[in-house]
A and B are shown apart, each in its own frame.
Chain A
Amino acid sequence: MSRYELRFSGAGGQGLITAGIIMAKAASIYEGKQAVQSQSYGPEARGGASKSEVIISDGPIDYPKATTVDALLAMTQEACNKYTHDLKKGGILLVDSDLVKTLPEGNFKIVSFPIINTAKNDVGREIVANIVALGAMVALTGQVSRENAEKAVLSSVPEAFLELNRKAFSIGYDKALAASA
């Protein structure tokens, strides 16, 4: 049974749980696969290490949490230190190159680009950094199509911010492809 595990990690308030939800929604509602999204977080509303996990499969998903992670996003150094221990051999690690300076050693593919700065400078709003990161994860993992992921993004954000999020997703997708080439 195909079982693909993703983890979105960073600091509370960066919108990574939302990014995980949209990825899972894309797989479950639009791609016709099965998906489970779960999360763990501390008592803080902001700050503190936070993670959101998504399991995608063609069949029923038993254990809803990650066992060995296929693809991991780390948006802070703390998250990178804390959550990369169970990254699979040959897996993918995406980091924000401005915030994660010390990379873990291991047999996996590391992709890095300045995610938050891309949101700030190329998209125009730092707040959509999570959608830039989501676009990048969609491009790197290939678990859902670009079109289905975009549909999931647009059905999950407020109407006034559709264009902003569409742009963030698209730029994240293209930057990740360029950074991993």
Chain B
Amino acid sequence: MSKKVAFLQGNEAAAQGALYAGCNFFGGYPITPSTEVAEVMSIELPKIGGKFIQMEDEIGAMAVVLGASLAGAKALTSTSGPGLSLKQELIGYGCIAEIPCVVYNVMRGGPSTGMPTGPSQSDVMSAKWGTHGDHPAICLTPASVQETYEEVIRAFNLSEKYRTPVFVMPDEIVAHMRERVVFPEKGEIEVLERISPTVTPDAYKPYDTSCGDVPPLAAFGSGYKFHVTGLNKAQDGFPTTKAELVQAEEERQVRKVDANVDDIVHFEEYLLDDADVVVVAYGSTSRSARFAVNIAREQGIKAGLFRIKTFWPFPDKQIKALAGKVKGFIVPEMNLGMCSLEVERNAQGKAPVLGIFRVDGEPINPDQILAKIKEVK
């Protein structure tokens, strides 16, 4: 039997990916350029007994997603820059209370309302530093419509596996462009379910780490009662200021991601074996980069592409390894230098890092990247 295919927009594929992953709750507030996700979910969720709620604003939308997840739902919200800013307080709450959910954020121009219909990649730092305090951060940056579909599934899996909010951040170009999507059959892509407690309700502690760094999470309404707070908490979920407990809990929450980077960090290496110049790119910009790398190769320049699929945790190890081998890195991005800071941090002065930064609402074109590749001597 031939597989089902469709010609879809990135945002539509994101919604379909969420449904494949078992998403049964969407809470959101419409905002360009992410609204199509809400549109599709509002049509599809009622058909499978799921719930769609358009809230009064983005803060409410994030709150309802956390609540739904605590009640056992796989919950999604979609937004863009201004909405992301509003959600940040509750994203922090999701991190400390360890509530799985997926935040799909389409990057448009900013700060503030910026350029609503223009593409951007300027929210990637918000995924890690947008909410205050030390906390784990996972952020995926897909580059095609098919990959958006698949990365949304992976985001749900990671959020359940590590019991934490996960971001998917396509730029506006990826979110709004249309390509053919080949839908996987049921079971073809792994879908992870939440780790539920095996103890009885009276013995249950919501942050019991006796089985590892990710405590099993009971669903409200299933007979388990527990306390949830944004304060630092003990294993029973109630607030504590006990120094050694707080220290250990904070470290554990960050360690959930830090100790598992090899599981979480996905990337693509293109023509890197003999590359003198490596373009490090993500999202739609990585497609310009591949185009430029191909032309450079035709002209006899040893260029390659390191394509970031998981932006957070950042592929530190991989960039560090490349830094010792290459003559230079090129980092094109639709912001004034965010990924380039991370590449510089990992290059540790061993290779120069040349940025191409564009915030005028236009994509970085292959010619710009090719010209920069030629600057590396």
Contacts and interface: CB of A to CB of B under 8 A. Distances in A.
Interface of A: 21, 24-25, 28-29, 34-43, 61-65, 67
Contacts of A64: 173, 177, 284, 287
Interface stretch (B219-227, B288-296, B343-351): B288-296
A65 B365 contact: yes
30 contacts: A21-B178, A25-B7, A28-B7, A28-B179, A28-B180, A29-B6, A29-B180, A34-B180, A35-B179, A36-B177, A36-B178, A36-B179, A37-B177, A37-B178, A37-B179, A38-B176, A38-B177, A43-B116, A61-B287, A62-B288, A62-B291, A62-B294, A63-B290, A63-B291, A63-B365, A63-B366, A64-B177, A65-B173, A65-B365, A67-B365
B119 to A, nearest CB: 9
Given A28-B7, A40-B117, 4 more contacts: A28-B179, A36-B179, A63-B291, A64-B177
A62 B178 contact: no
B35 to A, nearest CB: 13
Nearest to A21: B178
Interface of B: 5-7, 116-117, 173, 176-180, 284, 287-288, 290-291, 294, 363, 365-367
Contacts of B290: 62-63
The SS class assigned to the A binding surface is mixed
A35 B8 CA distance: 11
B31 to A, nearest CB: 13
Contacts of B177: 36-39, 64
A108 B207 CA distance: 69
Contacts, number: 57
A75 B284 CA distance: 28
Nearest to A26: B7
A-B complex: 7 closest residue pairs judged by Cβ atoms: A62-B291, A38-B177, A63-B291, A37-B178, A25-B7, A62-B290, A28-B180
B287 A62 contact: yes
Contacts of A34: 180
A33 to B, nearest CB: 10
Contacts of A41: 117
B288 A63 contact: yes
Looking at B173, B178, B365, B367, the one whose CB has the most chain A CB atoms below 10 A away is: B178
A5 to B, nearest CB: 12
Contacts of B366: 62-63, 67
Nearest to A66: B365
A46 B48 CA distance: 35
A34 B173 CA distance: 18
